[in-house]
Amino acid sequence: MLEERFNRLTGRVLAGLAVRVSLYAILLGAIAYGMLWGAVKYGPSFYDEIGPVEVLETVFALAATLAFLFAGRVDQNRAPCAIVLATFLFCAVIRESDYFLDVLVCRHAWKMMVALTLVLFAVYARSNLKAAGASLMSFVSQPSFGILLSGLLVLVVFSRLFGYGSFWKELIEGNYYRVVKTIVEEGVELMGYFLILVSSFEYLHDAVIGRRYPEEPQ
C-alpha cells in the first residue's frame, strides 16, 4: 500500500514537472518570437527605456517578488527567506521604473524609494536575523536557488559584459553598433529576469507541495 502510494505521488510530481517545463519553454519561445517581431515591426524603439522589453523586465521582476512573498505566506518557515528575496527584487522593480518615477514623481525618486525599502528591510532583519539566516541556508540547498543564481549572473554580470559598447563598436562599423548593443543587452537582461521568475515559481511550487505533503517524499 505504501509503495503504491509512493508511486502515485512520484507520478504526480513527474507529471507536474513536465507541465511546468513545457509552460516555461512555451513562454520563453513566445518571448524570443516577440522580440524578433518587435524589432522587425518597430525597430530600435522596441528596446528603448520605455519600450515593451523594458516594461516586460519590470513585470517579470514584480511577478517574482509577489511569488516569493506568496511562498512565504504558504510556508511560514520560508517567510524570512522570501522577504529577503522579495526585498531585493522589489528594489530591482524600482530601478527598472526609474524613468517613469523621475518623470512622474521627481528626479532621483527611484533612489529615495530604494533607500526607504532597504531601511525598512534593515529594521526587519535586525529582529529576524537568526530566522532569516536559517531560512536562507535552507533555500541554498534547493533547485530554485541554482536557477535564481543563474538568473542573477546573467542579469548582473553577463548582460553588462556582453553589452559592452566597445566590443560591439569593434564588430560593427558606424554608429549602428549602439542599436545592436542595446538590443543585445536588453535581450540578455530579459533572459536573466525570466530565470529569476522561473526560480520564484519553483520556490512557490515547492512551498505548496511541502504544505500539501509534509511527510511524503517529493
Amino acid identity, residue 127?
Answer: S
**DSSP letters for 93-138:** HHHHTHHHHHHHT-TTHHHHHHHHHHHHHHHHHHHSHHHHHHHHHH
| Mean residue pLDDT across the chain | 86
Rounded Cα distance, 80 and 84, in Å:
6
Q: Which three cell numbers stand for residue 112?
A: 529615495
pLDDT grade for 217, boundaries at 50, 70 and 90: very low
Contact (Cβ atoms closer than 8 angstroms) between residue 63 and residue 69? no
Domain ranges within the chain, ordered by starting residue: 2-212
Contact (Cβ atoms closer than 8 angstroms) between residue 192 and residue 154? yes
pLDDT digits (tens, 9 = 90+) for 108-135: 788 899 999 999 999 988 888 888 888 9
pLDDT at 9 over 70: no
pLDDT of residue 91: 93
